[in-house]
Structure 1
Amino acid sequence: QAEVKQVLDIVIHSLYTDREIFVRELVSNAADALEKMRHTQLTENDVFDASKPLEINITTDETAGTLTISDTGIGMTRDELVENLGTIAHSGSKAFAAALKNAGKGGEAQLIGQFGVGFYSAFMVAAEVKVYTHSWRNEGEHLCWVSDGAGSYTIDEAPGQSRGSRIVIELKEDAKEFAKTSRLREILSRYSNFVSFPILLNGDRVNTVEALWLKSKEDISEEQYEEFYKFASHSFDKPTYRLHFQSEVPLSINALLFLPSENMELLGMGQMEPGVALYCKKVLIDPHPHKLLPEWMRFVRGVIDSEDLPLNISRESMQDSALVRKLGDVVAKRLLKFLDKESLEDAEKYRAFYQKFSRFLKEGVATDFDNRNAVAKLLRFQSSLTEGDEAISLPDYVGRMKEGQETIYYQVAPSRSSIESGPYVEGFKARGIEVLYLYEAIDEYVVSSLREFDGKQLQAVNSDQVDIGEDATDGEALSESDATALCEWMKEKLSSEVASVRVGKRLVSSPALALTPMGEMTPQMRQMLRAMNKDEVDAVKVILEINPRHEIVRKLAAQRETNPEAAQLIASQVLDNALLSAGLLDDPQRMVARTQEIMQALLSKL
């Protein structure tokens, strides 16, 4: 009860200015109940009030100040009343409150339908709500649920109920407008015009039940498209993209798809349900088919209608239907081709979309093997050659690779500054080789899943397998023999943390860099695992590459014989600096004592 009360308070006080949406929510619930009833009638013969037509009836009474919304749907048993109306069935009030906070101004109304609390929106306008119901089962009880929205409710027997549910709302004094026929007609035309069952308002049919997706694009206005999007997605935003197409080959398909402007998962909503409903000849098969489109496309909203599907296909058998998989595959490929075209025609519009929905695309690269390359074309990254917010695609990168370059280079790090202040890209910059900058943790999975694009291997610049040719810099350097001797000495002195020390060709202005040996976890993977369970991530011995032209390295080579103690300090500091840049320094505190020792040694010479 306390949880219900908290949600009621949130709904009532946060959505007061949008309170007319309670009509949309109750009508939507009624349509869901009718849809379940339609499916039940396909498999059950023994149905209560079997002759009742599937429809929604709404009546207003200005004199009594009441609004009644009835459906001839599946109805509820006593247990279902308790589960559906007595508790928050799918999410707790804390989660709802958190999502509401993240939604910000203007986003609240969108959360209502998405969070499974639509029924409670009635209490924005109700002094009292009564729900009369009888289950579709003949043995079901005649029941009445009553609540004033204070957090408690009663359930009593109420003889004489028809199949379905009848919600009687006693309106608050400041909500009497919702007992006016004209006001209800206005709300229904705005929110519920495309409900696929008849809606009667005081006996008159008010919805068109129009299958917009079957009409020609030329016969549909922008306003109709927007209305349908808001109805289909339970949203108030405008879609960023719309794809409406008909096809007869290889399957009969009528599809109307929308890509939203708001990502509800970013607002703390948890994982979305699939949002493209599946129809056959205007008959709804499944409002949220999980096996139709790839899982990562769950943000897409709209309708797919195919005459090739059997009308009696059940939601259960649909999960294993090869025909449904083929249908989804055709639509997914069409959508990806459309999005690629749109991204090239209006880069700025696509950039705004990508900022909010990039994680879905990256999830697609990591999980959708069949469409991996097509999704990869839609990714955008900053690079060593871009400025500001500019980002490029993988085809852009491949198109401007240097002659003879066969590898796409990248680095995963938290920010541009952390990449460019580190040692790994300096050799590439000196040679004019572009490096992609990847800033998100998920990018590690993306590149490991993709591996190659357009025949070019993807390789991290901090991989120990990188070979970018001979040194690109001039200047005094250690001789080959001196460099080899220094590498052997450093390997001996740093043996507890270093697997090998070698001369590196990719360094320009840094004295050294650290690499994880092939087969070991990347630094980013180690950091993620360490954040989850620090004790289970073992230390790794690194490969240390030194720059034979750097002054520190050249002087270290001389000092190791004339001043071995100082040389040991400097060698350890060079290693720790390299580990720090690599994100592999597990204990930064150890640098403090050594830095103080180095400073004291310097000061003693002043």
Structure 2
Amino acid sequence: MTQEKQTREFQAETKQLLEMMVHSIYTNREIFLRELISNASDAIDKVRFQSLTNPDLLEGNSDFEIYLLPDEKTNTLTISDNGMGMTYDEVVENIGTIAKSGTKAFLEKLKEAGSVGDTELIGQFGVGFYSAFMVAKSVTLITRAAGQASGVRWESTGDGTYSIEECEKDSRGTTIILHLNEEHHSSEHPAENFIERRTLSDLIKKYSDYIRYPIKMSFSEKEKPRDAEGKIIEDAEEIETTTVRTLNSMTPLWTRNKNEISREEYDNFYKGMFQDWEAPLEVIHSKVEGMVEYTSVLFLPAHAPFDFYQRESTSGIRLYCKNVFIMDNCQDLLPEHLRFVRGLVDSPDLSLNISRELLQQSSQLKKIGKNLEKSILKTLESMLEKDRAKYELFWKEYGKALKSGVYSDFSSREKLQALLLFPTSHSTENLASLDEYIARMPEGQKVIYYAAGKDRAAVERLPQMELLRDKGVEVLYLFDRVDEFAIDALREYKEKTFQSVSRGDLNLDDLGSPDAEKPATEEIAKENESLIKAIQEKLSGKVAEVRVSSRLKSSAVCLVSGDSGISLSMEQILAEMNQGMFKASRILELNPTHELFGTLKNLHETAPDSESFKDYCDLLYGQALLMEGLAPEDPVSFANLVAKLMAK
């Protein structure tokens, strides 16, 4: 019996769902095209599968396709497929009511959380279909199920009612006609002009490039006619021709066997997807099956963006579910220090919310993220071991990010420490890993020495470096702001603690002394106890302690920090970050073998309360500040003091 045209009301839950989808779930209206195309692809999947046991369903047409037809005259966008189609009852059930079990509970969860992880609803025609009303003032659906004699016509303005009737339709499948709102076919908003063919092409490339069936659209072009031999007739008027183009590539590169993909194909894929002019430094292609299933293609870009260390983090990882684009820049997959990695993950196991736009926090996502992190770190370890030149190119671009991970992410410290590289006193050209440093340590050395400064020249000028240099002890050089934070976070590596050359005892006794007759520091300190106390009194409020140094060779004085609290170099870094309230404990160390020590001793013995003795103390402190790269607290007074002593 033929069904006449009827006007029906949407089920109450359907009205709620429509309102929420239009006003709250979707933040990006262009997603409607992805939803409708995904539904079309699902419908083709269905007829293709069922035709394996019932070939008659194909009705002699196995050339599957999805077709777009934008029409400027009628302000409509039509999306057609030759998939399974729907019967009258299926249209009522899927479009009119969404009468699935648990719908009310589903909507309640949706209201509470704004999303829900019910994957069975994703891709069902009655859910994503309603996204059409974000851009259309009315929607017409014409469908015929495979094997049925007649079709069904459905229409609605989204006002709470719809009309439905049987109709004639020559071929199986579904056609959706969107009568677009004014703003979505206006030249004033080209990015949301969904009649503009270029806009549609860009959206297909962005969201549906890897749908397995061709997505086609006709294009009109004007060209000169050709003669019988195919040559262009230059004097003739141009004629308008129509060509049909396929907008999507259909076969995702990541679904192919990686052994069959050339490096050039990977490079071109990366350049196209991430708009980079340069090929990536490394490619990591993985397919994982088991408890969680996914395919990933990750890239290490050859260069970091110029603002990489200034801007907010974007992970660069795109998510796909069954070849359909879900979201860009997923923040939940990789830790902050690996944010330079670009690429994609495609998994059928992702828990999506109803809009396919956002992912819920899920155990699957966490498992995938952990696996990706392991894969990236394993690749970097292999690169460090087998291709040092390439790794150093990587390190130049992203080394600061890994060091930041050591400092800020406790769970990653052990994973990252072997990947760290530092300039050292061993070579002016080559960087060293911590393993390489330890391998070169002489017998008896118990610690890993490091020195911090703005550059190599500044570090090597430090008076604390001279004795270590004479002993042939290698020192790590820390030039980046994050370096000392990272070293402090590590504390030790392979049972070797880190030791600043400007802090604490240098533990050089077991390495031998270049000067066997050098008096013992403790004995000298005891003999000159009153001198040291007097200098400390003169510098009260400026230094926490004055002591005899065991680390100086030719310099008269140096400034070091206490065993606890921040270091002098870290104080400078924090000051540059407007954190000037943090101060290092300052200790002035005197070289007992320097002739100036004798001068101070004589002055203290002959005129302990003289102005000259105080001037010498202030001058020594200012000198020590300058050698540490710190400005004297009163530069004018310091300059006048130098001039005064020079004039004597």
Query: TM-score when scaled to structure 2?
Result: 0.63
1:532 to 1:276, Cα distance in 2 relative to 1, 3 A: closer
AA in 1 matched with 2:513: A
Deviations 1:146-181 (A, max 9, x none): 888xxxx589xxxxxxxx842538xxxxxxxx9xxx
Following superposition of structure 1 onto structure 2, how do residues 329-478 of structure 1 map, counting pairs within 5 Å?
Answer: 329-388=370-429, 390-464=430-504, 466-469=506-509, 472-474=513-515
Task: Identify the match of residue 272 of structure 2 among 226, 231, 238.
Answer: 231
AA in 2 matched with 1:303: L
* Rounded Cα–Cα distance in structure 2 between residues aligned with 1:35 and 1:455: 55
Task: Identify the match of residue 489 of structure 1 among 534, 539, 547.
Answer: 534
Aligned residues of 1:496 and 1:541 also touching (Cα < 8 A): no
* Rounded Cα–Cα distance in structure 2 between residues aligned with 1:558 and 1:323: 76
1:554 to 1:530, Cα distance in 2 relative to 1, 3 A: same
Report what 1:138 is aligned to: 158
Deviations 1:522-560 (A, max 9, x none): 2233224434548x5376652122221122223322232
Which has the higher mean CA deviation after the structures are superposed, 375-384 or 487-496? 487-496
Are 2:593 and 1:593 equivalent residues in the alignment?
Answer: no
Unaligned runs of 5+ in 1: 1-28, 42-52, 62-67, 74-131, 156-163, 170-177, 179-183, 602-606
AA in 1 matched with 2:545: S
* Rounded Cα–Cα distance in structure 2 between residues aligned with 1:58 and 1:234: 29
- Please report how far the alpha carbon of residue 265 of structure 1 lies from its aligned counterpart in structure 2 after TM superposition: 4.8
SS in 2 for 1:289: coil
AA in 1 matched with 2:346: D
Report what 2:296 is aligned to: 255
Task: Identify the match of residue 513 of structure 1 among 530, 548, 558.
Answer: 558
1:485 to 1:307, Cα distance in 2 relative to 1, 3 A: same
Task: Identify the match of residue 209 of structure 2 among 195, 201, 218.
Answer: 195
* Rounded Cα–Cα distance in structure 2 between residues aligned with 1:369 and 1:433: 30
- Please report how far the alpha carbon of residue 325 of structure 1 lies from its aligned counterpart in structure 2 after TM superposition: 1.1
Across the aligned residues of Structure 1 and Structure 2, the Cα RMSD in angstroms comes to: 4.2
* Rounded Cα–Cα distance in structure 1 between residues aligned with 2:417 and 2:443: 23
SS in 2 for 1:336: helix
Task: Identify the match of residue 196 of structure 2 among 168, 174, 182.
Answer: 168
* Rounded Cα–Cα distance in structure 1 between residues aligned with 2:590 and 2:421: 33
Aligned residues of 1:504 and 1:547 also touching (Cα < 8 A): yes
- Please report how far the alpha carbon of residue 245 of structure 1 lies from its aligned counterpart in structure 2 after TM superposition: 2.2
Aligned residues of 1:412 and 1:438 also touching (Cα < 8 A): yes
1:445 to 1:288, Cα distance in 2 relative to 1, 3 A: same
Count of matched residue positions in the alignment of Structure 1 and Structure 2: 471
Aligned residues of 1:253 and 1:305 also touching (Cα < 8 A): yes
* Rounded Cα–Cα distance in structure 2 between residues aligned with 1:308 and 1:245: 16
1:168 to 1:315, Cα distance in 2 relative to 1, 3 A: closer
Report what 2:127 is aligned to: none
AA in 1 matched with 2:602: A
AA in 2 matched with 1:214: T
Deviations 1:476-505 (A, max 9, x none): 659624443432222222223222222221
* Rounded Cα–Cα distance in structure 2 between residues aligned with 1:207 and 1:539: 60
Aligned residues of 2:451 and 2:475 also touching (Cα < 8 A): yes
Aligned-pair identity in percent equals 30
Which has the higher mean CA deviation after the structures are superposed, 281-290 or 294-303? 281-290
- Please report how far the alpha carbon of residue 341 of structure 1 lies from its aligned counterpart in structure 2 after TM superposition: 0.8
- Please report how far the alpha carbon of residue 224 of structure 1 lies from its aligned counterpart in structure 2 after TM superposition: 1.9
Query: TM-score when scaled to structure 1?
Result: 0.67
Following superposition of structure 1 onto structure 2, how do residues 539-558 of structure 1 map, counting pairs within 5 Å?
Answer: 542-558=586-602
- Please report how far the alpha carbon of residue 506 of structure 1 lies from its aligned counterpart in structure 2 after TM superposition: 1.4
Aligned residues of 1:279 and 1:303 also touching (Cα < 8 A): yes
* Rounded Cα–Cα distance in structure 2 between residues aligned with 1:342 and 1:424: 35
Report what 2:50 is aligned to: none
- Please report how far the alpha carbon of residue 429 of structure 1 lies from its aligned counterpart in structure 2 after TM superposition: 1.9
* Rounded Cα–Cα distance in structure 2 between residues aligned with 1:319 and 1:313: 10
AA in 2 matched with 1:530: A
* Rounded Cα–Cα distance in structure 1 between residues aligned with 2:38 and 2:70: 27
Unaligned runs of 5+ in 2: 1-27, 41-63, 81-133, 140-156, 160-178, 219-243
Are 2:607 and 1:580 equivalent residues in the alignment?
Answer: no
